[in-house]
Amino acid sequence: MAFPSFSCTLVSAAIVSLSLFTNADPVSSCPQPPPTGCGREIPAHQTKGASFDAQFTTCSTSKRSYRIHIPSQYDINTPAPIIFSFHGHGKTSLEQEGLSQFSNEAWNPKSIVIYPQGLHNEWQSDPDASSDDLTFTSELLTNLQSQYCIDPKKIYATGKSNGGGFAGLLACDPHLSTKIAAFAPVSGAFYDNAPSTDCAPETAPITCNPGRKDIPILEFHGSEDKSIPYSGGLNTRGNGCLPTIPHWVREWSKREGYGVKNITTNRPDLVSKGSNKATKVTMYEYGTDAKRGVVTHFLTEGLGHTWPSKEKNDDNSEKNPVVAGYDATPIILDFFRKWILP
């Protein structure tokens, strides 16, 4: 699928690293960057309406990388929303940009988008991962806020599979849950801490200690997901326990104080007729009054381990041939626009 008003430009990682982290000191503690980048010109070799590869040096001097999309409408004096989009296990930041389409300015004309790259192409929530990606994300966010004009009330996180699970981990973090306004995992891999021999997907305890209440959560999942099954259980590698998706969603609603009662809506407007099409979409909304939908879940019948899209994408391969009758990305963007930090 082509990106309207989108061009892709690669720049020297070394040049970008210098321009994005000019205060880095590889032998000292991490310096405190300026609190805001408003009024500051974008780094050299970057332009509006394009995406760039960049490097970032953490406080522990670890070299990390990410892609950034700067929207055409970006104004150095007007705080912009920012979205973090995390790739799946074994994938890359470039693949996540193409899959999630947040750089598509027909859908997202105003938000900066960050596509972080996981070490060994995985994120902290995966059973095989050993990196401290919570600290990495926190430090990267602080640095980006010093380089670009970012609205601190409009910071968002989403991701696919392992990246979706990591978005869930961010929502449960006491610190980052107070910095990020809303979260939208897609086909999320929400591993619990139970040994694989004691996996009880319908009752698995989910460790979560968010730093605030009423955290907006939007989750998409396919009933035929074979990689991260809707019914949970052991992962395909046999080294991690996954809760059922209904259990994970209900636990979020209970944590928010809304219990398990929800408004269930059939969404025929999100279904397209034809072969290899998902057959039914059901939306579950938790919360009441102005908080209705603060926790929302979309179940797509017949869909596999796929980022929902009406067009073919990297997920809609021979392994996952079913295509959704809707695009998840515009729904996520609408959800993000609805929720901001107080």
What is the rounded CA–CA span in Å between residue 308 and residue 318? 15
Alpha-carbon distance of 238 to 210, in angstroms, equals: 29
This prediction's pTM: 0.89
Phi (first) and psi of residue 165, to 5 degrees: -60, -35
CA 76 to chain centre: 25
The H-assigned helical ranges of the chain are 13-20, 93-100, 133-147, 162-172, 245-256, 328-338
Secondary structure (3-state) at 154: strand
Give the tens place of pLDDT for each residue, 198-230. Answer: 889 999 889 999 999 999 999 999 999 999 999
Mean pLDDT of 155-182: 98
What does the pLDDT read at residue 33?
A: 73
pLDDT of residue 196: 66
Average pLDDT over every residue of 247-269: 97
Q: pLDDT > 70: what percent of the chain?
A: 89
Average of per-residue pLDDT across 265-280 = 89
> How much is the pLDDT for 27?
34
Range from 5-9, 42-46, 58-62, 265-269 carrying the lowest mean pLDDT: 5-9
DSSP code for 88: P
Please, which pLDDT band fits residue 193 given cuts at 50, 70 and 90?
Answer: low
**In this structure, what token pair is assigned to residue 170?**
């961010």
Residue pLDDT, tens place only, 94-116: 999 999 999 999 999 999 999 99
**Dist CA 120 CA 90 (whole Å):** 8
Amino acid 248: pLDDT: 97
Q: What is the pLDDT of residue 195?
A: 64
pLDDT of residue 198: 80
- Spatial distance between the Cα atoms of 4 and 104, rounded to a whole number of angstroms: 6
Angstrom distance (rounded) from CA 278 to CA 322: 6
pLDDT one-digit tens code per residue, 12-31: 333 333 333 333 333 335 77
Average confidence (pLDDT) over 266-294: 92
